[in-house]
Amino acid sequence: MMVALSSQTEINLPNVRGKQERNAPLAKLTWFRVGGTADVLFTPADEEDLAQFLSALDPEVPVMPIGVGSNMLIRDGGIRGVVIRLGKNFSNIQCDGVTLTAGAGTPDIAAASAARDHEIAGLEFLRGVPGTIGGAIRMNAGAYGTEVADVFESATAVDRSGQIHQLDAGFMNFAYRHSDLPADFIVTSATFKGQPGERAAIEQRMQEISDAREESQPLRTRTGGSTFKNPNGHKAWQLVDEAGCRGLKIGGAMVSEKHCNFLINDGSATAKDIEDLGEEVRRRVLDTSGVSLTWEIRIVGEVAS
């Protein structure tokens, strides 16, 4: 199959068992529900299919993985090259003693629930992390006092050339909302280690996390999750609030009045509205506090022409 990229070049797409879609709309795949199209959207059948696809694809063609789009803003001009989405075939979960192995497409909440069912304590925090295991690994996601680094044991990833790698914690070099995972590595599965626990106690902790999120975050809106990283010694939401940004609007984008570290699409926003609003918040916070906020949401793609 030949696919024309925006650069007017053409690429050959390898024969695969998974699904390939040209000029694929991406907005429906993100929590913000905004963004342009991908030249190609590829949903591999399994890890082998992914590896074979990458090894056969022209190395000059850019590749970008996405999960459920919870912490991602795709610009209105879309994404050139191939977007890879790991679907339900990458959502298997296996538990053995106090370890849990999950495919990268597994929703974080599903991993937390499986750990509860197998009485593995320590993974309750995943109940409060939006997204999938693959994204959680890359950004060392965390919530309510625990992060991936605290329970990470190993991961499997496929690089741009199609080589499969086994990764340990030393390779990942986790830091706050960061890992050293190379940009061209696509995580396909990960193993976590918890400790023995009682189902009732695990369930109670998960419910506490769920209740806390419900009370404090705008969960029923089109949002991308936590927008800015917490700077050292500060809470991002408080800096945003003190800068007078609560409820601030640009176009169809608004700073949540419920939680100032969340941006909301009221249903009419473009990706540009959301990015412009975030940058305006960063400017006001810097002016009032001297602190430069860093985006936690990943902004990708091209500005619309």
Q: Encode pLDDT of 211-267 as tens digits.
A: 998 888 887 899 998 999 999 999 999 999 999 999 999 999 999 999 999 999 999
Which two three-digit tokens encode residue 180?
A: 């050293």
Q: Is the dihedral of CA 159, 298, 69, 62 positive or negative?
A: negative
Class of CATH domain 11-85: alpha beta
Closest of 57, 55, 56, 62 to residue 80, by C-alpha: 62
Cα–Cα distance between 293 and 71 in angstroms, integer?
A: 16
Q: Is residue 246 helix, strand or coil?
A: coil
Neighbouring-strand partners of residue 162: none
- Known catalytic residue: 289? no
CB 120 within 8 A of CB 194: yes
pLDDT of residue 38: 95
Q: Is residue 215 helix, strand or coil?
A: helix
pLDDT in tens, 100-132: 999 999 999 999 999 999 999 999 999 999 899
Strand positions, DSSP E, 53-176: 63-66, 72-74, 79-85, 93-96, 99-103, 120-121, 142-143, 146-147, 152-158, 164-168
* Set 47, 124, 275, 296: catalytic member: 296
* Set 116, 177, 205, 284: catalytic member: 177
pLDDT of residue 10: 63
Decide yes or no: CATH 3.90.78.10 for domain 222-289. Answer: yes
Over its length of 305 residues, how does the chain's per-residue pLDDT go in tens digits? 434 454 434 667 889 999 999 999 999 999 999 999 999 999 999 999 999 999 999 999 999 999 888 889 999 999 999 999 998 999 999 999 999 999 999 999 999 999 999 999 999 999 999 899 999 999 999 999 999 999 999 999 999 999 999 999 999 999 999 999 999 999 999 999 999 999 999 999 999 999 998 888 887 899 998 999 999 999 999 999 999 999 999 999 999 999 999 999 999 999 999 999 999 999 999 999 999 999 999 999 999 98
Whether the domain at 11-85 and the domain at 89-216 fall into the same CATH topology: no
* Set 70, 226, 256, 282: catalytic member: 226
Rg (CA), the chain: 20
pLDDT of residue 11: 61
Cα–Cα distance between 84 and 90 in angstroms, integer?
A: 12
Q: Can you list the pairs that 280-288 forms with residues at least 24 positions away whose Cβ atoms lie under 8 Å?
A: 280/245, 280/248, 280/250, 281/227, 281/228, 281/240, 281/243, 281/245, 281/248, 281/255, 282/228, 284/243, 284/244, 284/245, 285/239, 285/240, 285/243, 285/245, 287/243, 288/239, 288/242, 288/243, 288/244
CB 285 within 8 A of CB 293: yes
CB 122 within 8 A of CB 146: yes
Neighbouring-strand partners of residue 165: 157
- Segment (H or E) for 206: helix 199-216
Neighbouring-strand partners of residue 37: 25
CB 217 within 8 A of CB 224: no
Give me the residue spans of the domains in the chain.
11-85, 89-216, 222-289
The phi and psi torsions of 122 (rounded to 5 degrees) equal 110, -15
- Known catalytic residue: 177? yes
Half-sphere exposure of 75 (CA within 13 A, CB side): 12
Decide yes or no: CATH 3.30.465.10 for domain 89-216. Answer: yes
Angle ∠(11,12,17) on CA atoms, nearest 5:
135
- Known catalytic residue: 226? yes
Closest of 56, 74, 52 to residue 65, by C-alpha: 74
DSSP assigned state of 47? H
